[in-house]
Each structure stands twice: as structure tokens, then as C-alpha cells.
């Protein structure tokens, strides 16, 4: 796809990994922070949240899920209107044992708060190292997409491909309400990571032959 201007909200491990991955693919990436003057040593371009939103053709939410909606509200609905927003966040308790949206999902909460912003949930079922290097695993695996707007999901799919996720590894599981399944997988993810002694893994959907 043509190079795009991407704004990634957040400066943590996930945000930095995605920024490097999409920058390597040729996209113009800007990280957004509430405190940009304190994030100058990251080796990546950083700006304030509103400046990042103004820069972006596509926004990515890589902030902690417990604060994401509040942070997006600080940017303002008008600045987000019509801009595809890829949400990779999950809201978890401090001890990683409970979800902050147990009967919903962060993806749904964002879509409800910003109805004119097409939200796509993806990449939240894996570690940051796998998000940007799916080929580094022992075999193929699956990345999921949830969202109500088909064009936004197509855009997200093209950006996933730029990170190494071939179309055959991408599974569209439906509207934004299906983001619940993606986010609730976080609890199983923690168990698998404990069993393996590693976060560098992913799951693969294997269907019965037609």
C-alpha cells in the first residue's frame, strides 16, 4: 500500500515496536504522548496527543486500556472524526488477573464514545515481539480483526500485511462486539505464558478441511 501517516498513541513497548515495524515498511510514524518533552530519548519522533492525531491518516491506540477512553476524550471527538482507529489495548488490573471491561471490551467502549470514528480491534492477543515479527515463530499463526466498518478493516489488514501478517493469517471475526473475545483472551494468554515460561508465542486457528 502507499506510504501513510500513522499516529500511534502511547510510547510503551507496544507503541515503540509498532512504530519501528511500520517505519521500516516505509510509513511516516509519529508517537503521541501526554508528556512529549519527557520522551525525547526513544529514538523515535514523539509529539503531543493532539499533534499526533492531526498528523495521522490512521491512528493506533497503544495506551493502557484503563485510561484509553479518557485519553482519547482529551484529544476530542472532532479531531478523531472519520479517522480509522486501530485499537490494540487491553484493560487489565495491576496484577493482570482481571479485565477492566469484564462485560464489554475497550474496543466497544471507544466505538461507543466516538461513533464517527471507525474502530478496528486487532493485535491484542499477542506480545509486542510477535506483533511485528510473526515470521519469527515456529509456524504460521492467526491475527484477528473486529470492527463495524469494512473499509477500516481493509486498511488495518493492509497495515498488518506490512508487519508480516499475510492475508491468509488474518481472520475477520465480525463487528466490534467480537472485540470482547480478543480482549478476554488476555487471561488465557497469561496462563499460557506461565506454562511456557515465555511471552513469545501465538495461536493458530485450524479448521476442519472442507
The 10s digit of each residue's pLDDT in 53-107 is 999 999 999 999 999 999 999 999 999 999 999 999 999 988 888 999 889 999 9
Residue 201 lies in a domain: no
The H or E element spanning position 86 is: strand 85-87
pLDDT averaged over the chain?
A: 96
Q: Is residue 209 in some structural domain?
A: no
Burial class (CB in 10 A: 0-12, 13-18, 19+), 72: buried
- What percentage of the chain exceeds 70 in pLDDT? 99
**122/103 Cα distance (integer angstroms):** 19
pLDDT digits (tens, 9 = 90+) for 12-48: 999 999 999 999 999 999 999 999 999 988 999 999 9
Instruction: Decide: 87 and 119 in contact? Cβ < 8 Å.
Output: yes
Per-residue pLDDT tens over the stretch 179-188: 999 999 999 9
Q: The domain containing residue 144 runs over which residues? A: 5-196
In a domain, 202, yes or no: no
How many structural domains does the chain have? 1
The reply to whether 125 falls in a domain is yes
- Residue 205 included in any domain: no
Tell me the mean pLDDT in the region 114-131. Answer: 98
End-to-end Cα separation, the chain, in angstroms: 32
Residue 203 falls within a domain, yes or no?
no
The closest of 16, 13, 101, 26 to 65, measured between CA atoms, is 101
Contact present, 59 and 86 (Cβ < 8 Å) = yes
Q: What is the dihedral of CA 54, 59, 62, 66, to 10 degrees?
A: 80
Q: Is 34 inside a domain boundary?
A: yes
Looking up residue 51, the CATH number of its domain turns out to be 3.40.50.720
Q: Are 170 and 145 in contact, with CB atoms under 8 Å apart?
A: yes
Integer-rounded Cα Rg, in Å, for the chain is: 16
- Answer whether residue 206 is part of any domain: no
Amino acid at each position: 500500500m502507499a506510504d501513510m501517516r500513522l499516529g500511534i498513541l502511547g510510547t510503551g513497548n507496544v507503541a515503540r515496536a509498532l512504530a519501528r515495524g511500520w517505519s521500516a515498511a516505509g510509513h511516516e510514524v509519529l508517537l503521541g504522548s501526554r508528556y512529549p518533552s519527557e520522551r525525547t530519548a526513544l529514538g523515535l519522533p514523539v509529539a503531543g496527543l493532539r499533534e499526533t492525531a492531526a498528523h495521522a491518516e490512521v491512528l493506533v491506540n497503544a495506551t493502557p486500556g484503563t485510561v484509553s477512553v479518557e485519553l482519547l476524550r482529551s484529544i476530542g471527538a472532532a479531531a478523531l472524526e472519520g479517522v480509522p482507529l486501530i485499537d490494540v489495548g487491553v484493560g487489565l488490573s495491576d496484577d493482570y488477573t482481571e479485565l477492566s471491561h469484564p462485560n464489554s471490551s475497550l474496543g466497544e467502549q471507544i466505538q461507543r464514545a466516538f461513533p464517527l470514528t471507525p474502530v478496528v480491534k486487532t493485535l491484542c492477543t499477542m506480545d509486542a515481539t510477535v506483533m511485528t515479527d510473526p515470521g519469527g515463530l515456529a509456524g504460521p499463526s492467526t491475527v484477528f480483526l473486529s470492527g463495524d466498518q469494512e473499509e477500516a478493516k481493509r486498511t488495518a489488514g493492509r497495515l498488518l500485511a506490512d508487519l508480516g501478517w499475510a492475508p491468509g493469517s488474518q481472520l475477520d471475526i465480525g463487528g466490534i462486539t467480537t472485540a470482547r473475545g480478543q480482549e478476554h483472551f488476555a487471561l488465557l494468554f497469561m496462563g499460557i505464558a506461565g506454562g511456557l515460561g515465555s511471552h513469545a508465542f501465538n495461536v493458530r486457528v485450524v479448521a476442519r478441511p472442507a
